[in-house]
Amino acid sequence: MKTLDIGQVARWSGLPASTLRYYEEKGLIRSIGRSGLKRVFAETVLQRLALIALGRTAGFALEDIGAMLSAEGGPAIDRQQLSSKADQLDQTIKRLSAIRDGLRHAAACPADNHLHCATFQRLMAAAAKQMAKTKPAPTPPDKG
């Protein structure tokens, strides 16, 4: 079994050593020992790091990624969870595409003032609606 020290893993993966130590602390990767003061990893850690990177790119939290990785290093992925994440990404793409289209229209809109443009008004209304969904309702001031 070929081994890599933490510096080699950092170079090959493009991740700082601090991230590798953090991933180890969180149980996402595991060193197999030390060579002097340096952590040593099995070469298979690079595949595991690639799986972690893929999960992060897809928007999974590190805790979710950890649950998808078996102790042996391979994936133990819940396909329903993947399908659910794909659905979330579809919704995000749809929302971002609408925003992009609205911004492109606003950039090319012939109206003297964007506030007089019906398309821009719809874009603002959608943004206000989204803001209301993500922001808790204000609490009334204390009359005390």
Tokens of 84: 């659910």
Q: What is the DSSP letter of 72?
A: T
Q: What pLDDT digit, counting tens, does each position of 48-77 carry?
A: 999 999 999 999 999 999 988 877 666 788
Domain 3-68 has CATH 3.30.1330.10: no
Average pLDDT, the chain: 87
pLDDT band at 125 (very low <50, low <70, confident <90, very high): confident
Instruction: Classify residue 37 by burial, with Cβ atoms within 10 Å: 0-12, 13-18, 19+.
Output: exposed
Contacts of 17 (CB under 8 A, 6+ apart): 6, 7, 10
Q: What pLDDT digit, counting tens, does each position of 11-29 carry?
A: 999 999 999 999 999 999 9
Taking the domains of the chain in order of start, what are their residue ranges? 3-68, 79-134
Question: Could you give phi then psi for residue 40, rounded to 5 degrees?
Answer: -120, 140
Cα angle 26, 31, 36 (rounded to 5 degrees) comes to: 125
pLDDT of residue 60: 94
